[in-house]
Amino acid sequence: MRTWRVLGIALCAGLMACGGRETGVRFPGATTGLLRPQRLDSLATVIRQLNAIVLADVRDISTDYDRCEGPRTVLHLAGVKVLLGGAHPDTMQLRLFGGSLPNNRYVEMSESPRYMLGRRYVLFLFNRDWRFSPVISDHAFRVEPIAGREVLVAPNGKAVTGVSDRAVETETRMLFVPEGLPGIGTVSMSPTPVVAFTPCGVNPDGTPNCPRLPASSPVSNEFFPVPEPWTPKPPTREDVASTLGIDDLVRRIDAAARAIGVTPGGYFASRPRLECWDASPTREPAK
Amino acid sequence: MTRSILKHVALWGAFALATVRVGGYSVLRCDRVAVRPLPNPIVLRPNGCAIKDFGSPVGRSASILAREGSTYWKTLMPQPNVADACLITHGDGTWDLATVDAGAIDGLAGGTFKQYEQCPDSHIVEADIMVDYQLNFDQSDQRTFLNSPTMAGAGRHAMLHEYGHALGLQHADDAFAVMRSKMTLKAPMGGTNNSGSPHYFFADDAFGLLQIGGIPRNLPNFYVSAQALVNNGQIANASDNPATGMPYSNPLAVHTNQLITFVANAGVHSWWSRNITLRAYADSSAECTPLPGVGVTLGVFVVPLSQFATASSVVMVKIPPLGPSGQLLNVHFAGTLIGSPIPGGPETRGWDDCATTGLRLQAP
């Protein structure tokens, strides 16, 4: 069944005509045996699409451009150690979508994690083909030593605290500001002010007797409130008291995999084989 | 002061136990200037193969995106052309909106292809929004946060979130915001009185959009929500027990004078600071209303709302007599504007807002 579907997709791509519509979708290479990612809506769907969890150092970051793959940011991983799942050599390259086009413009996909040169990461790799990244969703956890602990920091700047049926949970405060984009600028953050709730009393007639507040005031149309960029206060021992280390996380993922009868491993695609970067096939939702 | 507190205990017994500092926004900057869209207005083309009309759930989701986006950055959305090919192209300068197989976006609920000019003077020259065609594009249940792509409203939320990226917002995971990075981190919903939909940008999103240059227009004066921000940037439902983080049994059997706590939330997503009263009340109707005198008052709070700020608080109320034994009453939050701060201005009580929580009380 899958073979027929794959053949159908390949045929459509080859003829550029499906159902009378021109598709225009191109593929980077051979389109046989394509294994498309399934939607990631629970921890189980992550585990079912998990080739391996690896620990690796980002030794170098380079850029590459291919007409079909598009601009790629290449992570050069060294000291790769497989923590769970399929085998990998001790050096790898991950070809992530994003970077400069020949016209000097920059492209990226919105939900893709950004990586820091020289840091160590725990990465969840797909056992599917992929278009933008071989790392599953945002499962790229930077290893940071904090208060004598080995803490796994998610791309959102929060640390891993557990594993639930839904996801790898990150229930700390934001410990680090997310990274910016090379060539574009930096990410800046700012908090909004604290606002207090004040309970009201009750008048004899039952109506609320609330404290008087300063009058609401209109703001001049010329006034643009621009807060100072915000940096999180340095993480403390208390912030990371309930975080998981590498072994804890892997043990819990392994247990969750066993519970659903899945053994991580299998196929790994080192290069994108799904549609070329410059077009995406669309699909109508079910009614 | 002591007398005042005793008065509260004797009557409504309403306390604000803690107010949480709310997260904030995140934007990309080039030479200290927020990176913003180049086109104004943005013409966002719905792909007619995927979104055939504005009457279907996915079409209504697109309409909500266009309406909400236009509040901050002029956004035009032409009628879908059903003759469109079943694909969108990236790098062609056209801003597209489409539903796609999750396999086309590496299994994610949504993704936005973005093309920028390099710094300095960086702008977003193109953004193509793609969301998983299998998401549920119906309106969400405002009583609970979204935490799964399978829930009603997931499609609408994903579209709006991705449009936030298209306009220049980055993720903000400590915030009460549409721009929290993923649904597993719990996406908050607003009350529906103001906009007719619980899917809209909140104060933190709006503050970020203001930095980008999207000056909010024609916004309602404030909003209330049945979700709130709690410790470490987590989102909780009003039907959760703040002490345990677990949902209350529902319905919750209570007795007169029992003290219960829940989280409450209100905010302003424009640059008008406003004072509101937030009334928690219980009523047999499942629909909330900001009208005074409806239902049984559980507690009343005044909240001075700063511009672009969401206020989240754990509050405690003392259960008053709830009527016939065994009666089930729904807990609602009603927010009403205090006075009319801008003479001749747009503020009217008609823009008061309310949110229904998932909590039901069973009278003793």
Per residue in B324-338, pLDDT (tens digit) is 999 999 999 999 888
In a domain, B106, yes or no: yes
Residues 44 through 73 of chain A touching chain B, CB cutoff 8 Å: 45, 49
Tokens of B353: 């807002």
Rounded to an integer, what distance in angstroms lies between the CA atom of residue A282 and that of residue A223?
43
Number of domains chain B contains: 2
* B151 and B269 both lie in a single domain: no
pLDDT tops 90 at residue A58: yes
With cut-offs at 50, 70 and 90, classify the pLDDT of residue A14: very low
Rounded mean pLDDT, A136-157:
94
Q: Which residue has the higher pLDDT, A42 or B347?
A: A42
Rounded mean pLDDT, A26-44:
87
Give chain B positions within 8 Å (CB) of A41.
Answer: 109, 148-150
* B16 and B130 both lie in a single domain: no
* B241 and B357 both lie in a single domain: yes
Torsion region of B92: left, alpha or beta (phi above 0 gives left; psi -120 to 50 gives alpha): alpha
* B163 and B278 both lie in a single domain: no
pLDDT digits (tens, 9 = 90+) for A87-106: 999 999 999 999 999 999 99
Q: How many residues does chain A have?
A: 287
Q: pTM to 2 decimals? A: 0.91
| CATH code, B302 | 2.60.40.10
pLDDT digits (tens, 9 = 90+) for B64-108: 999 988 889 999 999 999 999 999 999 999 999 999 999 999 999
Rounded to an integer, what distance in angstroms lies between the CA atom of residue B99 and that of residue A144?
38
pLDDT tops 80 at residue B271: no
pLDDT of residue B264: 92
Does B4 contact A197 at a Cβ distance shorter than 8 Å?
no
pLDDT tops 80 at residue A76: yes
What is the b/e burial string over A65-100, where b = at least 16 CB atoms within 10 angstroms of the residue's CB? eeeebbbbbebbbeebebbbbbebeeebbbbbbbbb
* B19 and B70 both lie in a single domain: no
- Three-state secondary structure call for residue A216: coil
Give chain B positions within 8 Å (CB) of A180.
Answer: 28
pLDDT tops 80 at residue B38: yes
* B17 and B64 both lie in a single domain: no
| CATH code, B110 | 3.40.390
pLDDT of residue B308: 83
Rounded to an integer, what distance in angstroms lies between the CA atom of residue B217 and that of residue B222?
13
Closest by alpha carbon to A96, among A83, A84, A114? Answer: A114
Does B133 contact A280 at a Cβ distance shorter than 8 Å?
no
pLDDT tops 70 at residue B162: yes
pLDDT of residue A135: 98
In a domain, B207, yes or no: no
In a domain, B175, yes or no: no
pLDDT of residue A125: 98
Asked if A148 reaches chain B (Cβ–Cβ under 8 Å), the answer is: no
Rounded mean pLDDT, B332-356:
73
Range ranked top by mean pLDDT from A127-131, A199-203, B187-191, B259-263: A127-131
Does A282 contact B309 at a Cβ distance shorter than 8 Å?
no
Residues 108 through 137 of chain A touching chain B, CB cutoff 8 Å: 108-111, 126, 128, 130-133, 136-137
Does B339 contact A196 at a Cβ distance shorter than 8 Å?
no
pLDDT tops 70 at residue B288: yes
Of A194, A279, A286, the CB nearest to B89: A279
* B121 and B137 both lie in a single domain: yes
Q: Name the packing angle between helices B154-167 and B203-212 (round to 10°).
A: 30
Provide the mean pLDDT of chain B. 88
pLDDT tops 70 at residue B19: no
Of B12, B23, B130, the CB nearest to A202: B12
Give percent above pLDDT 90 in chain A: 64
Relative to beta strand A208-209, strand A201-202 is antiparallel
Rounded to an integer, what distance in angstroms lies between the CA atom of residue B108 and that of residue A113?
13
Q: Which of A141-145, B98-102, B220-224 has the lowest mean pLDDT?
A: B220-224
pLDDT tops 50 at residue B183: yes
* B85 and B124 both lie in a single domain: yes
* B298 and B339 both lie in a single domain: yes
Does A110 contact B165 at a Cβ distance shorter than 8 Å?
yes
* B39 and B125 both lie in a single domain: yes
In a domain, B178, yes or no: no
Asked if A224 reaches chain B (Cβ–Cβ under 8 Å), the answer is: yes
* Range of the structural domain that residue B152 is part of: 29-168
In a domain, B72, yes or no: yes
Give percent above pLDDT 70 in chain B: 90
Beta bridge partner(s), residue B169: B27
pLDDT of residue A69: 95
Does B27 contact A187 at a Cβ distance shorter than 8 Å?
yes
Does B116 contact A184 at a Cβ distance shorter than 8 Å?
yes
Which residues lie closer than 8 Å to A204 by C-beta, 6 or more apart?
A: none
The one-letter amino acid code at A79 reads G
Range ranked top by mean pLDDT from A2-11, A119-128, B33-42, B266-275: A119-128
Rounded mean pLDDT, B217-232:
84
pLDDT of residue B309: 83
In a domain, B202, yes or no: no
* B357 and B283 both lie in a single domain: yes
For residues A249 and B60, the answer to whether their CB atoms sit within 8 Å is no
pLDDT tops 50 at residue A250: yes
Does A218 contact B342 at a Cβ distance shorter than 8 Å?
yes
pLDDT of residue A221: 46
Of A184, A198, A219, the CB nearest to B28: A184
What DSSP state is assigned to residue A126? E
With cut-offs at 50, 70 and 90, classify the pLDDT of residue A215: low
pLDDT of residue A234: 87
In a domain, B7, yes or no: yes
In a domain, B336, yes or no: yes
Which residues lie closer than 8 Å to B172 by C-beta, 6 or more apart?
A: A189, B23, B24, B25, B26, B179, B180, B204, B205, B208
- CA distances, B363 to each of A46, B8, B331 (Å): 44, 21, 12
Asked if A273 reaches chain B (Cβ–Cβ under 8 Å), the answer is: no
For residues A13 and A27, the answer to whether their CB atoms sit within 8 Å is yes
- CA distances, B345 to each of A32, A58, A217, B352 (Å): 64, 57, 11, 15
* B7 and B56 both lie in a single domain: no
